[in-house]
Structure 1
Amino acid sequence: MPATTERTSSTHVHELLLHDSPDELVAAAVPFLRAGLDAGESAVIATGDASCALLREALDDDERVVVIPRSEVYRIRTPTALTTVRRLVEQQVAAGSTRVRVVGETDFGTTPRDWLEWQRYEAVVNEALAPLPLWGLCAYDTGRLADELITTGLRTHPFVHTPAGRSANPRFVDPADFLRSLPVPVEPLEDTAPLLRVDDVREFSGLRRAVAGVLAGLGGDHDLLEDLHLAIDEMSSNAVRHGGPPVTLRLWAGPDRVVCRISDGGTGMDEPFAGYGPAHGEDLSRGGMGLWLARQLCDHVDVIDDGGGLTVRLTTSLH
C-alpha cells in the first residue's frame, strides 16, 4: 500500500507502529522524532523506561526532546490522560512549536479488565484529539502484547507505519463503531446478594446516607471510597434528571473492589464518546460533567444500553 502524503500539521495524526524488537522500534521512532525537530516541531517520548532509554541514547540525549514518564499519561484514568495530552500540546504550541510529535507506548495494564479502559481510549482519541496539531506514533511490541491488543491497535489507528512511511490502515474502523463492538465485561459480584438495594431512587439525602453507611463499613482506602461515593451521587442524580423511572441502585463489595450499578427506565443513550470530556466543552457552567467526573473517579465505568433503559456500572478497588 502506498504511503500517504503529508497532512496539515493542524490536525491529529494517529499512527500505529508494530515492532518486534528494540532495534525495529529505534529504526522507526528516531527518524520520526528527528524529522520533527528539524521542522520546528516538538519531539516527545512517553514510553516505558526501557524504550525511553534506547530512544534517548539513539538521539544522543538531545535536550530538545521532551521526556514524560509513561505513568503520567497512561496509568491515570482515561479522561485525565486526554487532558494531560491536550495540555502538553497547548504548552508546546505556546512555546513556539508548530506541531507536537509523540512516541508513546500505551500501558494497558495487566488484566483484560484493565485493558478495556485503554482499548476504549485508543478509539476515543481519534475524536477527542482530532483538532490538535499532534502526531502520535503509538508503538506496539508484538512480542509482548496480547493478540487482542494488537488487534485493537489495528482497528483504532487510521494510519500504520511502514518502511516507506505512513500509510492508510485498511483495518481501521469507525471509532464509534469500535466502541459499540466492545463487550460489556461480566461482573461476578452481581450474581451475589447486594449490600445495598434501592428500587426507586427519589430522595437523594437519604440515598447519600445509605451509601455512605455501607462504604464506611468496608474498611477500604478512604479516598478511593470517597471518590466512589461522589461518582454514585453524580450518576444517581443523572439517572433521575435524564432517565425515566424507576431509578434503581445496587451496591456490592468483594475482597478487592466495590461495584455499584445504577439503572433507569428511560430511552437509553447511544453516545459512545460520552464521559470522555465535559458534555459542553470548556463551558463547565452548563453542566454535563457527571459521567466525565465518574470516569475520573472510578477504575472502571461501563455504560450499558440494553434496550430497557440505561445502566451505569461503577467499579473501584478497595485498596
Structure 2
Amino acid sequence: MTAEPSELSPFDHRMAVFGADDEFVAAALPFLAEGLGAPGEPPPVAIAAPEKLDLLRDALGSDAKEIAFIEHTDWYTGSAANAVAQGAGYLAGNAGPGGRIHLLMEPVWDGRAGRSARETAEWIRYEALANLLFAPMATTALCAYDTRTAGECVVAAARRAHPGSGVYEDPVRLAAELDAVPLALPAPDAEQLREPYADAVRAEAMDRGLSRVDAELFAESVVAATATLGQVTSARLWGEAPSCVCELRTTARVADPLAGFVPPPAAELEPEQGLWFARQVCAYVDIRDDDHGATVRLQYG
C-alpha cells in the first residue's frame, strides 16, 4: 500500500457501486449537488447510459437544467487511451481553473470496455493510471459501477484502482501486475518485415484484409512508435483484418508505465510522443520489458 493520491494531489477519484436504479440515483444525486455547490466550478457532468440519464433528469426535476448530460457511448468511444484523450480534452475546454469540475462517469460495460478479460484489464489499467495522469488536476470524478453489467469480478478489480476503497493499490504496481501476464505467442504465419517499415506494414496489412485507408493509418502508428522506441531490431506482422498485429523488438526498455498515455501539450506531436499516437489509433498497445530490451505489440482493430 502507498499513500492515497488524495493526500498527494488535488485529483479526487471516487467510486460508487450499485445494483439497482434507486441505488444509482442515491449515489449520484449528492455528488451532483456537491458539484453544483462548489464555488468557482462549471456545472457538473453526468456521463452514463441513456436510461440512467433519464433517471437523473426525473429525480433532479428543475435542477436538471443545471447539469450537463452526456451519453456514455459518446464519451467512451474506443480504447482506454482514447478515454484519457477524451477526459483531457474535456477538462481543457470546459473545466474551471486547475481542472475544477465534478464528473459522474459510467463506463460502457456492455460494449467495448467489458467485452472480454483483455478489455477489462485495459480498463483497470486506465482507472489505475488516471490517479497519476490527472494528479495535478482539481477534478472530482465519481466512477459508477453497476454490478448488473460490470460484474463482481470487474468491481473487485476496480476497487484496487480507487482511493478510499480500502484495497487501493499503487498505480505503478497495479499496472506492472497487468503486464506480468505473458503475451500470446505470435501466429505461425507471422511475416518478418523489412525496412522501410511504413511500406512493409501497409503492404502486408492490405494483403491481410485491411482497407488502404486503415492500412495506411496502421503503418503510420507503427512508424510513430518506432520513433519513440529508438532502435528497432525486428518487426513482424500477423493476423487478419480487422485485427492485424505488428510486433516490434527494441534494444532499450520502455520502463515508464505512462508511456503513450500522457496527453501531448500541443496538437503537433514530437517524435517522442509517437506512442501516444499509436495508442490513439490502435485497439491495443502491449509493452513487455525484459533484460534485453522490450517487445511492443500494436493491434489494429
Q: TM-score range by the shorter chain?
A: 0.7 to 0.9
Mapping for residues 153-302 of structure 1, pairs under 5 Å: 153-158=158-163, 168-183=164-179, 184=181, 186-187=183-184, 190-194=186-190, 196-198=191-193, 203-204=195-196, 207-239=197-229, 242-243=230-231, 247-254=233-240, 256-266=242-252, 268-278=253-263, 281-282=265-266, 286-302=270-286
Q: Which residue of 2 aligns with 1:11?
A: 10
Residues 150 and 185 from structure 1, CA distance in 2 versus in 1: closer, same or farther, beyond 3 angstroms? farther
- Superimposed CA distance per residue, residues 236-281 of structure 1 (whole angstroms, 9 cap, x where no aligned partner): 3444xx24xx611110023641011000233x12211110025x74
Query: C-alpha separation between the residues in 2 aligned to 1:208 and 1:93?
Result: 39
Confirm or deny that 1:143 pairs with 2:138. no
Confirm or deny that 1:111 pairs with 2:116. yes
Structure holding more helix per residue: 2
Q: Which residue of 2 aligns with 1:163?
A: none
**Distance apart, 1:217 and its partner CA:** 2.0
**Distance apart, 1:285 and its partner CA:** 6.5
Residues 289 and 23 from structure 1, CA distance in 2 versus in 1: closer, same or farther, beyond 3 angstroms? same
**Distance apart, 1:224 and its partner CA:** 2.8
Aligned-partner SS, 1:302: strand
CA-based RMSD of the aligned residues comes to: 2.7
What is the one-letter code of the residue matched to 2:27? A
Confirm or deny that 1:315 pairs with 2:285. no
Residues 171 and 102 from structure 1, CA distance in 2 versus in 1: closer, same or farther, beyond 3 angstroms? same
Q: Which residue of 2 aligns with 1:84?
A: 86
TM-score w.r.t. the length of structure 2 is 0.86
Query: C-alpha separation between the residues in 2 aligned to 1:145 and 1:98?
Result: 28
Confirm or deny that 1:126 pairs with 2:128. no
Bigger shift: residues 34-43 or 50-59? 34-43
Structure 1 stretches of 4+ moved >6 Å: none
Contact conserved, 1:157 with 1:169, CA < 8 A, in 2? yes
What is the one-letter code of the residue matched to 1:223? V
What is the one-letter code of the residue matched to 2:276? W
Contact conserved, 1:79 with 1:277, CA < 8 A, in 2? no
What is the one-letter code of the residue matched to 1:92? N
Q: Which residue of 1 aligns with 2:73?
A: 71
Q: How many residues align?
A: 289
Contact conserved, 1:78 with 1:276, CA < 8 A, in 2? no
**Distance apart, 1:222 and its partner CA:** 3.7
Instruction: Mark the structure with the bigger radius of gyration.
Output: 1
Where structure 1 has 5 or more consecutive residues not aligned to the other structure, the ranges are: 159-167
Contact conserved, 1:79 with 1:276, CA < 8 A, in 2? yes
Bigger shift: residues 41-50 or 13-22? 41-50
**Distance apart, 1:34 and its partner CA:** 1.5
- Superimposed CA distance per residue, residues 201-225 of structure 1 (whole angstroms, 9 cap, x where no aligned partner): 6x43xx3322222122233344332
Aligned-partner SS, 1:58: helix
Confirm or deny that 1:48 pairs with 2:44. no
Aligned-partner SS, 1:156: coil
Residues 312 and 120 from structure 1, CA distance in 2 versus in 1: closer, same or farther, beyond 3 angstroms? same
| Identity within the alignment, % | 28
Query: C-alpha separation between the residues in 1 aligned to 2:241 and 2:137?
Result: 42
Residues 32 and 220 from structure 1, CA distance in 2 versus in 1: closer, same or farther, beyond 3 angstroms? same
What is the one-letter code of the residue matched to 1:250? R
**Distance apart, 1:186 and its partner CA:** 4.2
Q: Which residue of 2 aligns with 1:165?
A: none
